[in-house]
Amino acid sequence: MQQEIIEDKVFDNLSFKRSKLKAALYENCSFVSCDFENSDLAEFKFTDCTFTGCNLSLASLGNTAFRNVQFNGSKLMGVNFENCSKLGFSVGFNDCILDNTAFTGLNLKNTVFTNCRMFNADFTSAEMENSVFNNCDLKGAVFFKTGLKKADLTTSVNYIIDPELNRISKAKFSLTGIPGLLAKYDLKIEFK
Question: Mean of the pLDDT values across residues 81-93?
Answer: 96
Evaluate whether residue 164 is within a structural domain. Answer: yes
108-121 residue pLDDT tens: 999 999 999 999 99
24-35 residue pLDDT tens: 999 999 999 999
Number of domains in the chain: 1
Q: How confident is the model at residue 21 (pLDDT cuts 50, 70, 90)?
A: confident
Percent of the chain with pLDDT over 70: 99
Least confident of 46-60, 113-127, 169-183: 169-183
Evaluate whether residue 124 is within a structural domain. Answer: yes
Query: What's the domain range around 156?
Result: 103-192
Supply the CATH number for residue 136's domain: 2.160.20.80
Evaluate whether residue 111 is within a structural domain. Answer: yes
Percent of the chain with pLDDT over 90: 86
Q: How confident is the model at residue 1 (pLDDT cuts 50, 70, 90)?
A: low
Q: How confident is the model at residue 186 (pLDDT cuts 50, 70, 90)?
A: confident
Evaluate whether residue 153 is within a structural domain. Answer: yes
pLDDT of 14 over the 70 cut: yes
Evaluate whether residue 116 is within a structural domain. Answer: yes
Can you give the pTM of this predicted structure?
0.94
Evaluate whether residue 53 is within a structural domain. Answer: no
> What's the pLDDT score for residue 7?
98
Q: Which of 26, 52, 23 is CA-nearest to residue 40?
A: 23
Q: Are 172 and 181 in contact (CB under 8 A)?
A: no
